[in-house]
Every structure is written in structure tokens, then in C-alpha cells.
Amino acid sequence: MTTLIERFASKHDRFAFDCGKPSLNDFLTRHVSQYEKRNLARTYVLVREGEVKVLGYYTLAGSAVEFDTLPTDVTKKLPEHPIPAILLARLAVDRSLRGQRLGARLLRDCFARCLLLADQIGIHLLKVDAIDDDAAQFYEHFGFTRFPDQPDQLFIPISVIRQAAGT
């Protein structure tokens, strides 16, 4: 299956999407267009080449992380004010396609996009709010660390993403 990841547009058929998590389905079917129009976030969808049916997606938004919420080994040499971040607000794959590593594909695309953004505006880390412990474990597998006092929130420094990408 040849797939593409592209920015969400009204042409995308998102109404049959079902990842098994109502809040993630609801965002895609009911709210994504308004988030796009109001510049609240950007959503990137996975589709088969030549098709418009959404197979998976992720959403990015600007964010910041309070300095004192990060572990001390991360805050060394950082100023004591909110740290610039990108929020990976959502990531989901249709449950009919589980086990095909499409979530990993979406996350790698997210990482590449974050590196481009970090070069343009300066971003220190990528943050995610995991919807449940399975999601948190998925992110940990890719190098994310849980916030000490908020185990459902995880982060990965842009420097770690850059190092893994070899750039």
C-alpha cells in the first residue's frame, strides 16, 4: 500500500475514520476544519496515493512547557521561563489498519516536520498528552520521557530527534 501524508483539506473523507477512541474520532469528524480555519492547529492526514479517505492523522500546535515541570537534567543551561515547544495534540490510526506500523510512520513524519519548525522558529521540545497508558508506552518506545509529576504527559527534546535523524 503506497501512502502519503499531507496537510488536511476539505477534500479528505474523514467520516468513516474510527481509531477506537471517541475523542480522537470526534476531533477529526467535527472539529478539525474549525481548528484549521482559526489557526489553532495543523492536522496532517495519511491517505492512500490517489485517494482521499483518511487512514490516520496527527495534529500539531504551538505550546510551551513550564520550566519547573521538567526534570533537572533537561533544564541545565536553560533560562527559567516557559520553554518553547510543539504540542503533538493527537495521533491516531484507523483500527482496521492496526499492526501495519502506520502510527510509527505518522510519528516519523511529525518528527521531520518538528525539525523544520525548530530550525525556523526555535523549539526546544515536542510534547504530547497521551490519551491512555498504551499511548504513553507507544511514545516511550520512540524516546519520549514522562513528565515527573504528570505521567500522561511526555516530551522529547528536539536535540534527541535531530540526533536520531542524523542531522
- Let me know if domain 3-165 sits in CATH 3.40.50.2000: no
Q: Tell me the C-alpha distance between 138 and 34, whole Å.
A: 28
pLDDT digits (tens, 9 = 90+) for 40-80: 999 999 999 999 999 999 999 999 887 877 767 777 777 77
pLDDT for position 71:
67
Catalytic residues: 139
Q: HEC profile for 61-127?
A: EEEEECHHHCCHHHHCCCCCCCEEEEEEEEEEECHHHCCCCHHHHHHHHHHHHHHHHHHHHCCCEEE
pLDDT for position 30:
96
Residue 7 has, within 13 A of its CA and on its CB side, a CA count of 8
Nearest to 134 by CA among 14, 47, 29, 20: 20
pLDDT for position 81:
79
> Element (H or E) spanning 135, and its range?
helix 133-141
> Element (H or E) spanning 137, and its range?
helix 133-141
Averaged over successive runs of 10 residues, the pLDDT of the chain (167 residues) comes to: 93 96 97 97 97 98 84 73 92 95 97 96 94 96 92 93 84
pLDDT for position 80:
78
Q: What is the pTM of this model?
A: 0.93
